[in-house]
Amino acid sequence: MKKEIAVIGLGRFGGSIVMELSEMDVDVLVIDTDEARVNEYQDYYSEGVIGDSTDEAMLKSLGIKNYDNVIVAIGDNIQSSILTTLILKDLGVKKVTTKAQNSYHGRVLEKIGADTVVHPERDMGRRIAHRLVSSSVVEYLEVSNHHSIIEFTSSAKFENKRINDLNMRKKFGISIIAIKRDNDLIVSPDPNISILSGDILILIGSDEQLNHFENYMDKL
Ligand code: ATP
């Protein structure tokens, strides 16, 4: 059976999710108060509804409870975003993912039972900041409030050294969880493996430890 996903709010974020889902084998329901938005994306969904997601009876009549995942991508209207999330959880939707406009909005969403809260603007800002500050950081991914994963282009200083010899855990408190080499991904690399030119190291650590490492490497 096809997965059924509902996207509420067709701003840039909700719209791009809908376009991406349309490429996958998924039944997509979209809901937006704005008819023009619903029309704009008509090639990308199976069912489109012009309506207000704070209307509980409307959500019920759409059988929203049976959807595998509902994404609340309402932007500026924080009140509607919170109310919609609350109604969806009350109606028994198993997985509700809601976009937060700021950290207070995010905290409220967590308290009222949103299963996943996403902060796309904040996360993208952080990722870009890391890439700007360190020329070697090619990707940055937050995994908790205090821990992240970075992809780091290995420096000449690392070449032909074994992971063991780099002593990253002891020196910086961070671990190499994988190495991207050509088109391969070496997961949980053996400590005896040597780093080669062009390797991209995937590192995990606390934000503080990773910052310390990035600064140290940039100054070398
Ligand atoms: P993005 O950055 O993703 O573009 P945004 O902050 O610009 O987000 P908005 O335009 O504020 O997003 O809202 C996204 C969409 O949500 C809009 O198309 C708007 O019509 C729709 N929307 C707002 N409130 C509701 C609601 N209660 N029910 C359904 N759709 C809603």
pLDDT, position 2: 87
The per-residue pLDDT for 89 is 97
- Decide whether any atom of ligand 1 lies within 6 Å of the 199 Cβ: no
| Segments of the chain assigned to CATH 3.40.50.720 | 4-118
| Chain region(s) in the chain for CATH 3.30.70.1450 | 122-219
Give the pLDDT confidence score for residue 84 in this predicted structure: 98
Return the residue whose CA atom lies nearest to atom 16 of ligand 1: 9
Q: What is the mean pLDDT of each run of 10 residues along the chain (220 residues)?
A: 94 96 94 98 97 98 96 95 98 97 95 95 86 80 88 87 91 94 93 92 93 80
Q: Domain 4-118 falls in which CATH fold? A: Rossmann fold (3.40.50)
Ligand 1 centroid from CA 8, angstroms: 8
Identify the CATH class of 122-219: alpha beta
Q: Where are the beta strands (DSSP E) in 9-161?
A: 26-32, 47-50, 69-72, 96-99, 116-118, 137-142, 147-153
Tell me what pLDDT residue 18 has.
Answer: 97
What confidence score (pLDDT) does residue 137 get? 83
77 in ligand 1 pocket by Cβ < 6 Å? yes
Is the distance from the beta carbon of residue 81 to the nearest atom of ligand 1 less than 6 Å? Answer: no
Please tell me the predicted confidence (pLDDT) of residue 174. Answer: 94
Residue 36 in contact with ligand 1 by CB distance below 6 A: no
